[in-house]
Amino acid sequence: MGAVFEGKDKEMTQALQNLFWILIFPGFVFTVCLGLVASWIVRKVSSLVQWRVGPPFFQPFYDVVKLMGKEVLIPEEAQQTVFKAAPVVGLAGVLLLSTMLWRITIDPTRLFVGDIIVAIYLMVLPSLALILGSSASASPHAAVGTSREMKLVMGYELSLVLAFIVVIIKSGGQLSLAAIAQQTPVFSISGLLAFLAALLCVQAKLGFVPFDMAEAETELASGALIEYSGALLAVWKVMQAMMLVALPLFLVMVFLGGFTGALWAGIAKYVLVLVLLILIKNTNPRVRIDQAMKFFWFYCGVVLVAAVILAIIGNSYGINWL
């Protein structure tokens, strides 16, 4: 390998290294494997809660392989290009987000890879892709699912940004994720409130019960994803698995101090957030979309405004526990 690269630019090696980061190690392959394990954990813990045995360890892997081998059906009336491109767009968004988060986790001292604003933008992409793809599928069930997903995004996005504003204030106006991950704002009143609200927003972002109305199996027959089959559905499933890695990891970095301490402590924090999400999922019924919006705007919104005010007071008077 050395002989091959000898005559080439340093930039070329740099580009190959970046490609390796995105496609193999902290990026695609690694996150997909980890995400499939995480979705196994979701299914296994759910079945333990329901006093069942649950699926075998490789079940999510089998599911994806099987979907890859199935026929891809595309509805005649669908907008073909958008219908096919949407899952890939969503996957690209999550891929960038997870690569960015892992790069910062592994080597926080490196140059700029992205700050909290970039992360917030990238986190919207999967929902946006879902809205695009399902509205391109020309199915009435998908249309209802899409409208619910749109309302849900409008509902939780405000709360999520307010929760991150609390963290930014607590860290003294820092926007860089590497700097934010050095602190644990959850050990203060405002930080704890923001963490709990952000946990529920992530629940909605992952499409877990109580906020799974866009994919409602019972009345919408899997709603937004109803027309997807075969490899396209596999891409959606892989995307959702990767979100199971990226979003809890993001919460761990922003609120719980990230992987700054020992490695096992970081993994324990991630598993803690994941299990919290699973337990919320398994102990709640689905709410209606209007209840979800009311919950995010009025209840979470008020709590978060109070948290922002507490954080500002705490910051300006130097009271760390506020």
Partner 1 sequence: MSWKIWSLKKSPWVFHVNTGACNNCDIEIVDLLTPKFDVERLGIKLVGSPRHADALLVTGGVTRQAAPRLREVYRQTPKPCVVFAIGACACDKGIFTTGYHMVGPVDKIIKEIDPNAIIAYVPGCPPKPEAIISGVVTALSVL
Which residues of the shown chain bind partner 1 in the complex (CB under 8 A)? Answer: 43, 47, 50-56, 58-59, 62-63, 65-66, 68-73, 217-218, 220-222, 225-230, 233
Q: How far is the CB of 220 from partner 1 (least distance, A)?
A: 7
Q: Which is nearer to partner 1, 54 or 301 (CB)?
A: 54
The alpha carbon of residue 163 and the mean position of all alpha carbons in its chain are separated, in whole angstroms, by: 15
Q: Which is nearer to partner 1, 46 or 176 (CB)?
A: 46
Residue 189 tokens read as: 């009143």
Rounded to the nearest 10 degrees, the angle between the axes of helix 189-205 and helix 140-170 is 160
Q: How far is the CB of 256 from partner 1 (least distance, A)?
A: 31
Cα(220)–Cα(222) distance, rounded to whole angstroms? Answer: 6
CA angle 154, 157, 159 (to 5 degrees): 115
The alpha carbon of residue 66 and the mean position of all alpha carbons in its chain are separated, in whole angstroms, by: 24
Q: How far is the CB of 94 from partner 1 (least distance, A)?
A: 21
Q: How far is the CB of 158 from partner 1 (least distance, A)?
A: 30
Cα(322)–Cα(315) distance, rounded to whole angstroms? Answer: 8
Q: How far is the CB of 285 from partner 1 (least distance, A)?
A: 17
Amino acid at 80: Q
Q: Which is nearer to partner 1, 233 or 235 (CB)?
A: 233
Q: Which is nearer to partner 1, 62 or 187 (CB)?
A: 62
| The residue to which tokens 């919408």 are assigned | 220
CB 91 within 8 A of CB 238: yes
Q: Which is nearer to partner 1, 67 or 96 (CB)?
A: 67
Cα(241)–Cα(161) distance, rounded to whole angstroms? Answer: 23
Q: How far is the CB of 218 from partner 1 (least distance, A)?
A: 8
Q: How far is the CB of 248 from partner 1 (least distance, A)?
A: 23
Cα(135)–Cα(84) distance, rounded to whole angstroms? Answer: 12
Q: Which is nearer to partner 1, 31 or 222 (CB)?
A: 222
Torsions phi, psi of 58, nearest 5?
A: -90, 10
Torsions phi, psi of 115, nearest 5?
A: -115, -170
Q: Which is nearer to partner 1, 216 or 243 (CB)?
A: 216
